[in-house]
Structure 1
Amino acid sequence: MFTAPLNLFTSFSPLTSISHVSAATAPAAVTYKLVKQSETMVTSGARQVNYNWVPSNATKATEVLHVLEIDLTNPYVQLNAMGGPQGSVTAKQSVGAMSKETGAVAGINGDVFRTGITTEAVPMGAQITSGQLLVSSEQLKGMYTFGVTQDRKPVIDNFSFSGMVTAADGTTFKLTGLNKSAYRTEPDRAYSHVDTLYMYTSAWTAPERPIASSTIPSEALIVDGNVTEVSIGTPIKTAIPANGYILRGSGNKTATDFIKSHLIIGDKVTTEYSLQSNNSGQSYDQSSFQMMVSGHTLLLDNGVAAAFSRDIDGVSGSANRARTAVGYSKDGSTVYLVTVEENGGRKGVTLKVLQQMLLQLGAWKAVNLDGGGSTTMVSRPLGEFQVGLTHPTSYGTTQRQVANGIGVYTIAPQGTIKGIVASGSKTLFIGQQSNFSLKAYDNYFNPIDPSGLTPTWSIDKPLGAFTEGTFLASKSGTAKLSVNAGSASDTIPIEVIGEAQISKLIVEPSTTLLKPGMTINAPVKVQLTDGRQLSLPASSVAWEFYGFTGSSSNGKITIDKVNSNITAGYAVARYDGFGTVAALASGTEKPLEDFEKVSYKVGFTATPKETVGNTSITTGVQGRESSNVLLMDYDFTVGAGKRYANAVLNDGKGITVTGTPSALTLDVLGDQSYNWLRAEFTDVNGKTVYATIADKIDWMGWKNIRVDLAAAGLKGPAQLTKLYIVNAEEDQDERALQGQLAFDNLALQYPPSGIKVTNSTIVMTVGSKQAKVDGKKVTLPGAPFMQQGTNTNFLPLKFVADSLGAQVLWDNKSKRVTILRGDTMLELWVGSNKMTVNGVRQTLTVTPTIVNGSVYVPVRVISEQLGQKVDWVSKTKTITIH
């Protein structure tokens, strides 16, 4: 028998909320406070806490702060640096993968790193894992580092690397660094590996030491302190053993001469190095630290917001972004691992706001870590054996591969059972199924096998059916799920999302071609009023088809038969009555270019002028080994500001796009550079038109993409002149400066002439049933009227919609009217001030009503939402729609 604890968190007692004045740029200062939303133990000595960042002039949180609090006085919890697979410093992996590989129970991403194909993405600062220095610091200004000493004291300081190699004959030579990529030193902007000596260990798994060093290497392999191999002018091919390292030098009379003249095969070599504080001058041997992970600028120092030690433009410090930081308390007993979420409506914070958040947490000293798309926190839920994402990343559930991270570890022994916890999805959609299971934990808050326990499940509100641990949501709302096993119990909140929480429903069809036999990928997302953006499971989406018959399965629509004499078909996606539309049009698809028989030139241009690159039509590219593709290499390393790399077609005259296509499809070989990919056209009037191919190149390998040319405003016939990428000045730290792209199989999609709509002229008079449509007299089912008190004219909706060629659908149960016209779906509810336009919630100032069986709507609904112009003559009370 056992009893669940009354309070799992008695060893921690933070303030629930504290106020402060933000350093925002608003005309008047706004008071913000952190409000604790939830907390849970991860392991003995570590807990995970979520805070809302709430302004005094609003009721909802603007941003969300996630914190791992580590109690360094607890002997069972440890921090360590995590890195690439099997300890590699040159191979990235996600924070989740690092944690699973090393057994961490929680973790965050760590150091900033360079991206691109001409760098190894090695951490820019020092890294110590389990007391061993794996990467040295770089000669850069203002880069701060977090570490924990062997006596469990946290340290944040600015370190430099100092080393010396001593040959058997007593000759010494300065060691510049350990396991470093090539970079430019500061402030002199020198090449890091010219006339220098570097050490590389077995942790360096990249094929070169390093790539793009602008030097000719000379190397010596040292095993167990003895020189075993020397190579002058070429790299050593022998793999570095765990008990050895390579000394790599360059320069005709410097490091190369030292290797050639003083490192003799069979001789002993001594290599010594340390880290030195640039603030105190104190030197540290690697064994002084349990762990170390570097970051960027100093954030807090002695309990106040510090002046930024490094230029924050490189990390978009003045923009709202996802953030990662690490800090510690004044007494050094508590470490705070911190992330700020950026996803959906949550935009993240500036570094100045992050400073204020950290102060409220109680941090005394803190350093900024890599942020933006790299920001990731994972943690092990209580009772679980595996870590999972604590919150969405900037990419949703996708974790970016990063250079290193800070892991939280437990060394507690197996304890006795202390409590149970229910495990399963806490946020669901109607129609979604979730499996819940019983977990158990010991007195160290570590998971234990719950076998032998017989759980009893219950839910306090009828939001769905619960059968043997499986819950099927059928109604929106919030409830508490309870589980009992013996004398132990647990409750968790359950949220089933309802339509009232939705601000926007988004469908993203892979094509808008309306053609029998076509299969369309149609994922649906919801944006909630609280800023969250979530993917709807296919089982929760109800589809309605108008203008064609078809079926839906697993998020895909298959078109069976298209109705005769229609200009458009509509696939309406609904969730809990809330709808959005994908407007489809019949048409054709024509190839534009497959690069197999090209009779024109392709070229490369770039901005700024220092940018280098190349374009070519070539074969043998991975995934297209036997066919031609358009290949583009680019290098933005030198230069500043906004940067462009262009694949120029036909000397800028372009290739001909016949007619006016609605879309361009193409295959793109991505390089995961996160740059912006675009296309440039010259339209029929000689105007330059730009179309976005991808907001972020966030994939590796080939991907088929559809580009909406109608939305771009392209009028044909036209010329496709460029395919190009943009590395914008903002957030450049998030994107690679070097890379390679390829393009293939360009094709155009053509509706006959877009989606045709009827543009009749309708003349009505308030109080009269007589009207005119294109000059012809008609009798209305009811007269337009002016609502008393609002001076708003109301029109019979169905008559106006029919006259404009729209489809009108009525749902009697919900009193909902749906209008489909062109590429627009408008929905209104009788007696309600809510309205949706293509899945976006809007608010009406006056509500639709029913008069004598007809739905009447405010005249502005017609003019603003169906794209018509409305004229009002007050003297004659005449309304003209045209």
Structure 2
Amino acid sequence: MTVQRQVGLGALACALVWQLVAGTTVYAASPTLTLSSQETITSGAVMKNYIWTTTRSNKDVSVNANVVEVDLTNPNVKIDAMAGTKNQFTKNQSVLGMVKDTGAVAGVNGDFFNTQAEGVPEGAQITNGQVMATPAKISGLYSFAITKSNQPIIDIFDFQGKVTAKDGTSFELGGVNKTYYWDDNDVAMIADGLFLYTSAWAMTQRAVDGTHVPTEALIQNDIVKEIAVDTNVKMIAPADGYILRGSGLAREFIVNHLKVGDKITTKYDMIPHDASQTYDWRNFKMLIGGSTLLIDEAKPSYFTRNIGDFSGYSPRSRTAIGYSKDMKTAYIVTSDRSAGSAGMTLPELQQFMIGAGIWKGMVLDGGGSTQMVSRPLGDFDPKLVNKTENGNQRSVVNGVGVYSTAPKGDLKGLILKGQNILFMNEPSTYQFKAYDDYYNPILVDGIVPQWSTSTTNGSFKDNVYTPSTTGKTQITAKSGKGSASIDVEVVGRDQITAMTFNAGSFSLTEGGDFKLPIGVTTRSGATRDLPAASATWELSGVKGSLKDGVLHVDSASGSQAAQVIARYDGYSTMVTLPIGQEKSWYDVDKYAVMTTGDKYPAEVVSAVNIAQDNGNKNLEIAYDFTKGTGTKAAYARFNGTSGAPIEGEPEFITARVLGDGSFNWVRAEVVDANGVTNLVSFTENMNWTGWRKLTADVSDLKYPLKIKSVYVANPANGQDERASKGKINIDDISFIYKGQLTSLPKNTVKLTVNKKQVTLNDKPLTLEQAPTIVNDNTLIPLRFVTEALGGNVKWDEKERKVTVIRGDKLIDLWIDNSDLIVNGQRVTAEVAPKIMNNVTMVPLRLISEKLGFKVGWEPKNYGITLE
């Protein structure tokens, strides 16, 4: 079900009343929140997709956001915390992996964590009632919990604990399953600390910081089984025990007061920071840690942590969690910074959460960690819902999962999926899914639905529908009490308003393959790419082939341009592509310029070398960004600091790059005619390995150009999400220059209304039919004028259709039909083309505009000049 609604979001200081009614639009001050769609995940859980719009620096921005709403009163659903692989710390994996591992139906990433440490959360975690980690001794860190009675809690928890030896000596316990960290006073908590590790910590090393040597003790059933002085116990803690790790003063406690065979006592507690609260963590079903409080009583909270530490005032991807005023609904939230979505600052996230209905809420980890996963209705496999900030699914330490606890139910409904727009004789497969009374998926292997259509314009074979005529129909699948329908429009020429190539502007090069997608728009406003097999294709101007909508250019010798025509059901479109000139500039095997290495800042380690790949020489840039601060870069500089001049006015710079999957950037420094150094990006997300040809646009720069360097960069923002060490290889740097289209002949035609005498370049000629005026429109002889001014005309007797091609323009027109097709666009003329004395006559104004004629009008003598 899709619901549209908008809610105005006022300034943070405003007191707002939110009235969210499905299907209702409430207009107020910007920003606005629009519910674009929603879908049931399982009984008691709903996925809602929002579009949030606001203004930044006087520019409108839009953010995609997702909210999973969980009904805490529904016995068929629960929320729990997840961790790593198989619910173990130090085995980080994506949220999708954790959801699949634990059988969840939805989930998001959880707590903040040190990306350089072993992989455990900063705060506390309780999973299925079992303590996985305890809070860090850092102020302002909030946690989200669910009690045994399904009451949600957001609060700060403090940790208290101690270990008591057999001799009565006690030592303060620093926490459970904690890595090294620093408190608010920048004191290393591991330096003199004693920490406890359970079987949830899946490594044999614990809290390794490279400075503090551990001393550890293995405890089983409260009995000391082993003591490892100045080293670690070489095992993971057993299920019936734990490992104590100490250094500094804690080491002395272990060495001096614990002995193998002694019985010891370990106690700890997580108590509310607010002493007025009385809830007990021992009755919590789950708990997940986070950072600052965001929302309190449906109002923006003050920030309980310095949000600048995690880019709080910059638009990033965000994750948050909260609950409603009546404590009956939990909200799990993500917002995206990705292509087409501008991300949110934390103050903006506060506004969004209030608009979504959250009474109290807190932030979870964001940026490159933000991931939301959900199981689509009728599906067995969960899928990533949001677009992640770096295009990858980052491995994280923990998350929040949504679980179905419902029994199996009877078939309730079907979901039908397939194309809504079809073309004639295009076979299309329609798939169906099924779900039960609790909205959980049902296997469809044994279900054979009955297929039907509301019209007779096609046929079914199994679940494949092939339309035979144009028009609208409805496809229905039925099984038992479940059924689903989908509306389908079979498009023909009369339903099309536009059919255009979506290839963009580029020049062709010999040996290249160029995808030529065609988009179709119908009268109803629907759009879809035309299947290549549904079109008939024509190629002129170059030697090559067209297969599956891809043009391969074998030879372009002597040509300035290529014309590709595609037709479907008599509807035509054309694209004219210039032949570009690609000039190789840097090829280590053949020619290059003096190349030297450079780096920024000084702490960066880098090297530039000549490498070989299967005998092919190329440029290697090795980098080590582990030291230094801010944006870091490793350069290959050309001609020292002078740069190398580039001939002419290239549109693009291309290079082959051997990626290392580091998510770093690859750029070039290009100096324009004003002496300004422009940073031109080949990629801002190197998420691949292997060779890939990359292109960067330099057409907006002022010529002439110089190229100073190519380099790999790790910008300051999001730096911890990219590899700090690696190498890339670069080869075959080229520049592509724009091709020129063939010039049309510079002819001039002079005509006079109602006179057959004309001149072509001052040469007198006689027409079979004079120009004439019909319904205040001047009609001219199409073939004579078009051919005189460098075009071609074709006649189709069967359809009474005329096709005109002049330069990069193509027009299809039909006699006595006022609809014309101009470069794939349907245009309606005031007067339809007519045949007079066996001559096709067309409206002067429309044809001159569409074919690019220059028209001169002499009103006294009704004279017309075309050129």
Q: Could you tell me which residue of structure 2 aligns to residue 678 of structure 1? A: 667
Which region of structure 1 is more displaced relative to structure 2, 585-594 or 17-26? 17-26
- CA drift of 1:295 comes to 3.5
1:591-740 to 2 correspondences below 5 Å? 592-593=587-588, 601-606=596-601, 612-617=603-608, 629-635=620-626, 638=629, 643-649=631-637, 652-653=640-641, 659=647, 662-673=652-663, 675-682=664-671, 688-697=677-686, 699-708=687-696, 710-711=698-699, 713=701, 718-725=706-713, 727=715, 732-733=717-718, 736=721, 739-740=724-725
Distance 1:245 1:860, change over 3 A: farther
Distance 1:845 1:458, change over 3 A: closer
- CA drift of 1:370 comes to 4.0
Deviation per CA, 1:15-55: give whole Å up to 9, x if none: 985854433999x9527776666544333322334456699
Query: Do structure 1's residue 333 and structure 2's residue 328 form an aligned pair?
Result: yes
Deviation per CA, 1:702-746: give whole Å up to 9, x if none: 351412354364867844424032526xxx358626623422142
Q: Could you tell me which residue of structure 2 aligns to residue 146 of structure 1? A: 144
Distance 1:768 1:264, change over 3 A: farther
For residues 331 and 649 of structure 1, what CA distance do their matches in structure 2 show?
63
Cα pair 1:79 1:291 within 8 Å, conserved: yes
Query: Do structure 1's residue 514 and structure 2's residue 503 form an aligned pair?
Result: no
1:15-34 to 2 correspondences below 5 Å? 19-23=7-11, 30=29
For residues 361 and 497 of structure 1, what CA distance do their matches in structure 2 show?
40
For residues 207 and 154 of structure 1, what CA distance do their matches in structure 2 show?
35
Q: Could you tell me which residue of structure 1 aligns to residue 42 of structure 2? A: 43
Deviation per CA, 1:199-233: give whole Å up to 9, x if none: 4445445786456x35232241525253525152x
Q: Could you tell me which residue of structure 1 aligns to residue 757 of structure 2? A: none
Cα pair 1:810 1:817 within 8 Å, conserved: no
SS at match of 2:667: strand
Letter in 2 for 1:421: L
Deviation per CA, 1:35-90: give whole Å up to 9, x if none: 666544333322334456699xxxx9966654333222222211112232222433
Q: Could you tell me which residue of structure 2 aligns to residue 291 of structure 1? A: 286
Which of 132, 135, 153 does residue 134 from structure 1 map onto? 132
Q: Could you tell me which residue of structure 2 aligns to residue 215 of structure 1? A: 211
Which region of structure 1 is more displaced relative to structure 2, 735-744 or 177-186? 177-186
Q: Could you tell me which residue of structure 2 aligns to residue 99 of structure 1? A: 99
Distance 1:489 1:177, change over 3 A: same
Which region of structure 1 is more displaced relative to structure 2, 500-509 or 93-102? 500-509
SS at match of 1:217: coil
For residues 322 and 493 of structure 1, what CA distance do their matches in structure 2 show?
36
1:171-210 to 2 correspondences below 5 Å? 171-180=169-178, 185-186=183-184, 188-191=185-188, 193-205=190-202, 209-210=206-207
Letter in 1 for 2:109: N
Letter in 1 for 2:692: N
Q: Could you tell me which residue of structure 1 aligns to residue 732 of structure 2? A: 747
1:271-286 to 2 correspondences below 5 Å? 271-280=266-275
For residues 290 and 66 of structure 2, what CA distance do their matches in structure 1 show?
18
For residues 497 and 321 of structure 1, what CA distance do their matches in structure 2 show?
42
Deviation per CA, 1:396-425: give whole Å up to 9, x if none: 99655444332211222233x142313434
Cα pair 2:9 2:29 within 8 Å, conserved: yes
Letter in 1 for 2:657: D
Q: Could you tell me which residue of structure 2 aligns to residue 407 of structure 1? A: 401
Cα pair 2:321 2:333 within 8 Å, conserved: yes
Cα pair 1:691 1:712 within 8 Å, conserved: no
For residues 418 and 153 of structure 2, what CA distance do their matches in structure 1 show?
38
Q: Could you tell me which residue of structure 2 aligns to residue 468 of structure 1? A: 462
Letter in 1 for 2:71: D
Which structure: larger Rg? 2
- CA drift of 1:613 comes to 2.5
Which region of structure 1 is more displaced relative to structure 2, 853-862 or 564-573? 853-862
- CA drift of 1:100 comes to 1.9
SS at match of 1:87: coil
Q: Could you tell me which residue of structure 2 aligns to residue 5 of structure 1? A: none
The root-mean-square deviation of aligned C-alpha atoms, in Å, is: 6.2
Distance 1:715 1:75, change over 3 A: same
Q: Could you tell me which residue of structure 2 aligns to residue 482 of structure 1? A: 476
Letter in 2 for 1:489: S
For residues 658 and 571 of structure 1, what CA distance do their matches in structure 2 show?
32
Deviation per CA, 1:591-618: give whole Å up to 9, x if none: 5348999986423213xx8xx4211257
Deviation per CA, 1:559-613: give whole Å up to 9, x if none: 3x2243124557789999788887653545465348999986423213xx8xx42
Which region of structure 1 is more displaced relative to structure 2, 301-310 or 490-499? 490-499
Letter in 2 for 1:222: L
For residues 744 and 580 of structure 1, what CA distance do their matches in structure 2 show?
36
Question: Quick one: percent identity of the two aligned structures?
Answer: 30
Letter in 2 for 1:615: S
Give the TM-score of the pair, scaled to structure 1: 0.72
Distance 1:344 1:18, change over 3 A: closer
Q: Could you tell me which residue of structure 1 aligns to residue 83 of structure 2? A: 83
Letter in 1 for 2:379: E
Cα pair 1:274 1:284 within 8 Å, conserved: no
Letter in 1 for 2:299: V
Cα pair 2:749 2:788 within 8 Å, conserved: no
Letter in 2 for 1:73: T
1:352-431 to 2 correspondences below 5 Å? 352=347, 354-371=349-366, 374-389=369-384, 391-394=385-388, 399-415=393-409, 417-425=410-418
For residues 473 and 281 of structure 2, what CA distance do their matches in structure 1 show?
52
For residues 880 and 741 of structure 1, what CA distance do their matches in structure 2 show?
67
Query: Do structure 1's residue 564 and structure 2's residue 548 form an aligned pair?
Result: no
For residues 458 and 603 of structure 1, what CA distance do their matches in structure 2 show?
69
Q: Could you tell me which residue of structure 2 aligns to residue 772 of structure 1? A: none
Deviation per CA, 1:95-143: give whole Å up to 9, x if none: 333222211122233334555xx45564443332222333444455544
Deviation per CA, 1:518-539: give whole Å up to 9, x if none: 4567889999999999999887
- CA drift of 1:167 comes to 4.2
Q: What are the ranges of 5 or more consecutive residues in structure 1 without an aligned counterpart? A: 1-8, 770-775
For residues 112 and 502 of structure 1, what CA distance do their matches in structure 2 show?
50
Letter in 2 for 1:665: A
For residues 351 and 368 of structure 1, what CA distance do their matches in structure 2 show?
8
Q: Could you tell me which residue of structure 1 aligns to residue 542 of structure 2? A: 548
Distance 1:202 1:710, change over 3 A: same
Distance 1:464 1:131, change over 3 A: farther
SS at match of 1:85: coil
For residues 628 and 247 of structure 1, what CA distance do their matches in structure 2 show?
51
- CA drift of 1:506 comes to 5.6
SS at match of 2:218: strand
SS at match of 2:98: helix
SS at match of 2:699: helix
Query: Do structure 1's residue 756 and structure 2's residue 740 form an aligned pair?
Result: yes
- CA drift of 1:333 comes to 1.8
Q: What are the ranges of 5 or more consecutive residues in structure 2 without an aligned counterpart? A: 15-26, 55-59, 754-760, 834-839
For residues 857 and 135 of structure 1, what CA distance do their matches in structure 2 show?
75
Which region of structure 1 is more displaced relative to structure 2, 194-203 or 699-708? 194-203
